Structure 1
Amino acid sequence: MHTHHSAAQPLTEYGPSALALLAGALLALMIHCNSRLAAYSNPLTASWLAHAIGLLTALLLWKARRRVPADASRPPRWAYLGGVPGALVVALAAITVNSPLAMSGTLALGMAGQMLLGLLSDRFGLFGMPRRLLQRHDALALPLVLSGCAILIFGA
């Protein structure tokens, strides 16, 4: 029996992965831009400027896509604190990119940190995430990424 695949199926199937890949590339670009700003001023000034421009961009995007959500309930209070780690990421990355870690080491260790928090969030249901038992491949992924970080930072 032949199954029919619609043209939208690849977008539905691979769209989130493509968006995550784009987000990672944009994160690298953001870190580079902010580190250049920090080199001409300091990490705190670069963070302030980046977040001010980000606020303006977010407001424009919000205005352009403004819709009334189907569920009018309020998010948990901690959900409003997303800007705090964002501000710390900008400031800390501006410092570490201009260190011996450089861009690749900063991004590699940042990805390892994201994986670690993601695995903990999945396992323990942190931040309202559904709990998920970790599989063998989950346990192997982090050491492999950390090994890659070590090779990238210290050489083969």
Structure 2
Amino acid sequence: MLKFPPALLALFAGAVLSLMIVLNSQLAAYSSPVLASWIAHGIGAAFAGFILFVCHVRSKQTRPASKPIPKWAYLGGIPGAFTVILATATVNSPLGLSGSVAFMLVGQTLFGMFSDVFGLMGSNKRKISSQDLAVVCCILSGSMLIIFTPS
């Protein structure tokens, strides 16, 4: 299996997230944010099932024995559904795609830092440094420029 640097994978995930948001917002414009979320998650589940099948057939390996998966770990689809619903509503507003993604980045960064500080959901605890605060200020400043600069 090919190995890619985590930063490259994260960058690609961000691009795919933006693509998902714009496609779902187009679907929501013709229906509703909730219906768009249902359709997106149905197609996503079918595609994930296909990928799982292909990977399982190729590897013929099972998951190595480890500690049991916490029950709350199965609930990741709930925030995903809210993400689709809320993003489709905001992209079709005056914020547009770039404003929506900018605010989403701010929310992700702040929640990520909060999770790091308190070790939420089993993540490693990490103290916020002055460099982290500087990065957040840059992200907030850039987001504000995207949102409030006239086109």
TM-score between both structures, scaled by the size of structure 1: 0.88
Correspondence for 1:100 = 94
Correspondence for 1:85 = 79
Per-residue deviation, 1:70: 1.1
Per-residue deviation, 1:136: 1.2
Per-residue deviation, 1:114: 0.7
Give the % identical residues.
Answer: 46
Map Cα deviations across residues 97-140 of structure 1 (whole Å, 9 max, x no partner). Answer: 00011000000110111101111111110110011112111111
The separation in 2 between residues aligned to 1:74 and 1:96, in whole angstroms, is: 38
Correspondence for 2:105 = 111
Correspondence for 1:150 = 144
3-state DSSP of counterpart to 1:104? helix
Equivalent of residue 38 in structure 1, options 28, 31, 54: 28
Which runs of structure 2 are paired with 1:6-155 in the superposition (5 Å)? Answer: 15-66=5-56, 67-155=61-149
Structure 1: which 4+ aligned runs deviate by more than 3 Å? none
Per-residue deviation, 1:74: 2.2
Q: Which structure would you say has the larger Rg?
A: 1
3-state DSSP of counterpart to 1:65? helix
Which structure carries more relative contact order (alpha carbon 8 Å, separation 6+)? 2
Map Cα deviations across residues 74-101 of structure 1 (whole Å, 9 max, x no partner). Answer: 2111111000000000010000000011
Q: What is the Cα-based RMSD across aligned positions, in Å?
A: 1.5
3-state DSSP of counterpart to 2:124? coil
Per-residue deviation, 1:72: 4.4
Structure 1 residue identity aligned to 2:23: C
Gaps of 5+ in 2: none
The separation in 1 between residues aligned to 2:123 and 2:101, in whole angstroms, is: 25
130-139 or 53-62, which moves further after superposition?
130-139
Structure 2 residue identity aligned to 1:19: L
